[in-house]
Homo-oligomer: A and B are copies of this chain.
Amino acid sequence: MSIANANTSPTMSGVSTTVDNTSTPADRARWVANPPDPPGICRDLIDWLRQTMFPDPTKLFPLKNKTGTAVLGRVLKGVFPILCWGQSYNLGKFKNDVLAGLTLASLCIPQSIGYANLAKLDPQYGLYTSIVPPLVYAILGSSREIAIGPVAIISMLLPTMIQKIQDPAADPFAYRNLVFTTTFFAGIFQAAFGLFRLGFMVDFLSQAAIVGFMGGAAIVIGLQQLKGLLGITHFTNKTDIISVMEAVFASFHHLNNDQWNPLNFIIGSSFLSFILITKLLGKKYKKVFWLPAMAPLVSVILSTLLVFLTRADEHGVKIVKRVPPGLNPISTQNIQIHTPHISQILNAALIVAVVALTEAIAVGRSLASMKGYNIDGNKEMVALGFMNLAGSLTSCYTATGSLSRSAVNFSAGCETPVSNVVMAVTVMISLKMFTKLLYFTPNAILASIILSALPGLVDIHQAYNIWKIDKLDFLACLAAFFGVLFLSVEFGLLLSLVISFAKIIVTSIKPGTEILGKIPGTDTFCDIHQYPMALNTPGVLIVRVKSGLLCFANANFVKDRILRFISSQEASGKGITQFLVIDLSNLMNIDTSGIASLEELHKNLATSGIEMAIANPKWQVIHKLKVSNFVAKLKGRVFLSVGEAVDACLSAKMGAAI
């Protein structure tokens, strides 16, 4: 082996200040073959637990030299973020928060009524949900821009799952109790996820799956609005596009003794156009951001006035009717822990909890990164969990961070969660004083308010981006989209989860090898297809496994492929291979099947007189190869880098020639 390599390479002179900056190839071979023992599975687990349980050492380290009070203060600040931002709160910030909170309330009130309608609950429950959860979140939550309240996806998810247990039309009270119970357990799940630091579970839905799911859900929600927009009484309980279209078709053709009413459609679609136009204006001229935020409230007021003046409700226009005045009633007695359907309820609660967390944390993260701060997923889950727990005991259904309203809150210039408090107080005042005014509000206007919020959920730009970057990811996106659209919401969610993980498996075990060549002017060896200028070394074949794992599912294929490549090279007269260097640098891990196939490869090559060397094994890999005695079989042909392995091969070749 050449020892020229042992000199400090000229490139790196001056990089390190230590004097012990030299080593011989023999040193390095020793270093490769005798690493310290890698951490075992228990050690790994403990490390991981420590990392997830104590997420921010920077906030814990400085505690060392502090007094007890300071420590308590720090812990309290950790639990109640309000203590952090509360210290520097001032009148200027309060003014901004009030402005943002009022804007938010004007959008929130009509949306809450609409979403309650979507969730098959009476309108007041939507308003209740805009009071308690935002107040709790303001104390516990760490995001400053998120707007808490009922959202479209959850309002659609809840009835699709709960009406299988209890039909809301048959017994609205029993249905409502089950919704509260689901919210209660969803809150418990969310808080538990946060307390047990399972925040990483939110990451188990890939971005592609979320984009597809949201898009599909938006269309499903839109289709559900046809009921209100067309004034149909008998509508399907299913959410898939085919059932909905059949129901609409039936009402057009006067089947089921039901008929659509064109007046509803005219009111709904004209106000929908109004809201959409204000949205376009708001997008174009950033200064009038309040215009689209106010439009829904204006529409509600105008359409209610219109119906009241013309008494259109007597001509078939469906209206909201009585909304009972007063604040959230206590609902502890409505939580039904001992219901016989508890397993279905728990199942629904888990799905609702995860979807709610996914939306809230995605919204929170993206707004936080715009303002340059980080939000802690686990802390956020605890806040959302306690907020829903409190909500379920005060007649609220599941709330989360709303995509559309958070964006409005952000552009309205909110500074802290106080904007949520202002919004909640405004909703409280409305509930106390103005519920009578909602009597003549047409249902069609609620449908058009929901419809106007949907385009924000369909992220075509992102879907195009996914298509451009990764075709397999796009497939997952499409599957989630069509799964939600044609089958059911839960199935779409499950499908996207399965596809996301199937993609990981396929990508991880996709067996492949690449031939390496030397990059001119360096000691680096790279894939000759990625770097066409890379140079071959005659007689030495350098192969890298193109996978992070050499395991039962791909080891045999890789072995066969290497053997086949060698024999095809000989057969096609491209030269005889004397040395095979396998670059193991890609392998994070190897299993018993992987080791067995390396051993078979070694045995097979030995019968053809080809010598095999390995280069750059990672920690776990070299450890396992040593334990299984494969390193001993290689007789020292284990090298730190491909360059050293090639050098050793070439000097062995020259030695043989002499």
Q: Which residues of B contact A38 (CB under 8 A)?
A: 529-530
Asked whether, in the complex, the Cβ of B564 is within 8 Å of the Cβ of A58, the reply is yes
A36 within 8 A of partner (CB): yes
Interface string of A638-657 (1 = CB under 8 A from B): 00110100110010000000
Asked whether, in the complex, the Cβ of B549 is within 8 Å of the Cβ of A548, the reply is yes
A537 within 8 A of partner (CB): yes
With both beta carbons as reference points, the residue of chain B lying nearest to A377 in the complex is identified as: B556
A237 within 8 A of partner (CB): no
Chain B nearest CB from A554 CB (Å) reads 7
Binds B, one of A343-351, A415-423, A427-435, A518-526: A518-526
The CA of A369 and the CA of B605, in the complex, are separated in Å by 12
A491 within 8 A of partner (CB): no
Chain B nearest CB from A372 CB (Å) reads 5
Interface string of A454-485 (1 = CB under 8 A from B): 00000000000110111111000000000000
Asked whether, in the complex, the Cβ of B592 is within 8 Å of the Cβ of A31, the reply is no
A22 within 8 A of partner (CB): yes
Binds B, one of A70-78, A148-156, A205-213: A205-213
Known: A61-B572, A507-B588, A571-B57. A518 touches B16 (CB 8 A): yes
Binds B, one of A5-13, A79-87, A173-181: A5-13
Asked whether, in the complex, the Cβ of A505 is within 8 Å of the Cβ of B505, the reply is yes
Contact of A369 among B8, B21, B603, B650 (CB under 8 A): B603
Known: A15-B518, A23-B520. A208 touches B57 (CB 8 A): no
A310 within 8 A of partner (CB): no
Asked whether, in the complex, the Cβ of A16 is within 8 Å of the Cβ of B591, the reply is no
Which residues of A from 482 to 539 have beta carbons under 8 Å from B?
500-501, 503-505, 507-509, 511, 518-524, 526-527, 529-533, 535-538
Asked whether, in the complex, the Cβ of A628 is within 8 Å of the Cβ of B36, the reply is no
Q: Which residues of B contact A340 (CB under 8 A)?
A: none
A619 within 8 A of partner (CB): yes
The CA of A618 and the CA of B643, in the complex, are separated in Å by 19
Q: Which residues of B contact A7 (CB under 8 A)?
A: 10, 521
Known: A207-B593, A529-B36, A647-B11. A641 touches B568 (CB 8 A): no
Asked whether, in the complex, the Cβ of B592 is within 8 Å of the Cβ of A466, the reply is yes
Asked whether, in the complex, the Cβ of B9 is within 8 Å of the Cβ of A2, the reply is no
Chain B nearest CB from A573 CB (Å) reads 10
Q: Which residues of B contact A21 (CB under 8 A)?
A: 520-521, 535
Chain B nearest CB from A130 CB (Å) reads 30
Chain B nearest CB from A583 CB (Å) reads 11
A595 within 8 A of partner (CB): yes
Which residues of A from 602 to 640 have beta carbons under 8 Å from B?
603-604, 607, 618-619, 622, 624, 627-628, 640
A167 within 8 A of partner (CB): no
With A40-B471, A61-B572, A206-B593 given, can you name 11 additional A-B contacts, CB distance below 8 Å? A7-B10, A9-B521, A12-B518, A12-B643, A28-B522, A36-B529, A57-B571, A58-B568, A205-B552, A465-B628, A505-B508
Q: List 18 A-B contacts (CB under 8 A).
A: A4-B13, A5-B521, A6-B521, A14-B650, A15-B535, A21-B535, A28-B522, A57-B567, A58-B568, A58-B571, A61-B568, A203-B553, A204-B553, A369-B603, A374-B560, A374-B604, A469-B595, A548-B586
Chain A residues engaging chain B, CB cutoff 8 angstroms:
2, 4-18, 20-24, 27-28, 31, 35-36, 38, 40-41, 51, 55-58, 61-62, 200, 203-209, 369, 372, 374, 377, 465-466, 468-473, 500-501, 503-505, 507-509, 511, 518-524, 526-527, 529-533, 535-538, 546-549, 551-557, 560-561, 563-564, 567-568, 570-572, 585-586, 588-589, 591-593, 595-596, 600, 603-604, 607, 618-619, 622, 624, 627-628, 640-641, 643, 646-647, 650
